[in-house]
Structure 1
C-alpha cells in the first residue's frame, strides 16, 4: 500500500499519473471526493469490483456510486431525455451541495454495480483532480465510503492500515489531499420516472 500527498500543487501531475496507472491495473485507490474519502476502482473491471466488495465485506445486493467526468460520459451509460438532461444540468452545475442522480442505465457496465436494478447512481465531481483522473482513464470510477460495511467511515487516513492490517488485503494506493472532508453524504435524487423528481436524501 503506497501513500502519496497532493498537498503541493507540483505533486498533482505525478500523483494523477500514478492513480491512473493503479486504476488501469485493476487496483484499489483511496481518493478524496467532494464529500468524504472513498475507495475507487474502474467501473468497467469486474475483477476490481470484486476486490472492493471483498475489502469492504460488502454484499453484492448493495449498488455502487459511479463518478463520471462529463455529461457526454453520462449519456453513454444512461438513458436521458431532454427534460432529464435539463434537471441534471440544474443540479450538477449549481454551486450547491454535491448531488448524486439515479437514472435508468443502458446495461453497459457490470450488473453488480447496480444490484441488478434498472437504475444507476451517478455524480459529476466538483473536484478537478478527480475529473482529471476519470478523463485520463476514459471510463467512469466507482466511489464508495472508506470503511468496512456497517462501520463508521475512516476519517483519518493513518487508520487505513489498522482497518486492513493484512498487507495482501489493503487498498493499493492512498492519496491524501490534506483536507478535512467531513462525513456528510451527497444529496440523492431519483430521476428515473419521466417528469418526476424524487428526493431520497437531502
Structure 2
C-alpha cells in the first residue's frame, strides 16, 4: 500500500528544513497505513472546514469536505485551480458510491472488481451531492483509494472527501511531502508516510474512466492502471468509445478537458 518508512522522525526533520511550521504540522501515518489517532486528527480538521494533505495509493492529495462550500473554495484557492476543472470525491466503500453517483446502469460486480484501487469512475451525480461542487457538469468522479488511512478517514467522517493531487495547478504531482512544500503554509496539516513508491507511473495518478452511459466507457485520463482497468471493463462486456461526442458529455468531464 505505502512504501515502508524507516524513520518517521527523520521525515519530519527533513520537512522542517523547508518550513517554519511546527513539528505537530506533520503527522506520521504508520507503516500499516493508518492509526486511530491520526484518523481522528484528520477528521477534526476536515470537520472544521480545513484542507489537509494525505497519501493515497498513487500520489499525495489535498482533501477537504466535499459537502462544505467554503472548504471547496479553499481547496481550489490553495491549488490555484481553475474552477472549470472538476475535482473527484472519495468514499470508503462501493456501497457508498450510490449515494453520490448513479450506478443503476452498471453491471453487477463491476465496481467491486475495480475498487478499491487507482481508478476514478465518472458517473451521473445524484441530487444529494453538494450542487456547487463541479457545478458545470451533471457528473462526478468517485474514488476509493487502496489506502487504509484514507478509507478509515472517510468511514469516520461518514461523508465524502473532495480529493485532488497535492501540487499547484499545472505542476507535477507529488510522491513525497517535500515536493509540494510551497503549499504547506496554506494547509492545516500534512499526513505523511514518506515517499509513495519509486515508480514514475504513479505520478500519472488514477485512471479516470467515464461510465455514465450504460454499456460504454470512455478513458478521460490513462493514469497508472490503464491496462488492468481495460481488462476488467472488457470482461464485463463494456464497449470503449474514443470520443466524448459519442457519450454526449461536452462538459467539465469531457475528454477535451484535462482531469488532474
Q: TM-score, normalised by structure 1?
A: 0.87
- Which residue of structure 2 lines up, in the alignment, with residue 71 of structure 1? 94
Q: Shift of the alpha carbon at 1:59?
A: 1.2
Corresponding position of 1:23 = 46
**Bigger radius of gyration among the two:** 2
- The root-mean-square deviation of aligned C-alpha atoms, in Å, is 2.2
Q: Do the aligned partners of 2:52 and 2:189 also contact (CA within 8 Å) in 1?
A: yes
Pairs aligned (count):
195
How has the CA–CA distance of structure 1 residues 10 and 40 changed in structure 2, closer, same or farther, with 3 Å as cutoff? closer
Q: Hey, what's the Cα distance between the residues in 2 that align with 1:44 and 1:80?
A: 20
Q: Answer whether contact 2:167 2:183 (CA < 8 A) is retained.
A: no
Question: Structure 1 residues 112, 10: CA separation in 2 closer, same or farther (over 3 Å shift)?
Answer: closer
Cα gap change, 1:138 to 1:188, in 2 (>3 Å): same
Q: How does 1:20-59 map to 2 (within 5 A)?
A: 20-59=43-82
Partner of 2:139: 119
Counterpart pick for 1:177 among 159, 168, 193: 193
> Any runs of at least 4 consecutive aligned residues in structure 1 with deviations exceeding 6 A, and if so which?
none
Paired residues of 1:63 and 1:112 also in contact (CA < 8 A):
no
Query: How far, CA to CA, are the matches of 1:81 and 1:125 in structure 2?
Result: 22
Q: Match for residue 167 of structure 2?
A: 147
TM-score of the pair, normalised by structure 2: 0.69
Q: Which residue of 2 aligns with 1:92?
A: 115
- Unpaired runs of at least 5, structure 1: none
Q: Does 1:6 align with 2:6?
A: no
Structure with more relative contact order (C-alpha pairs < 8 Å, separation 6 or more): 1
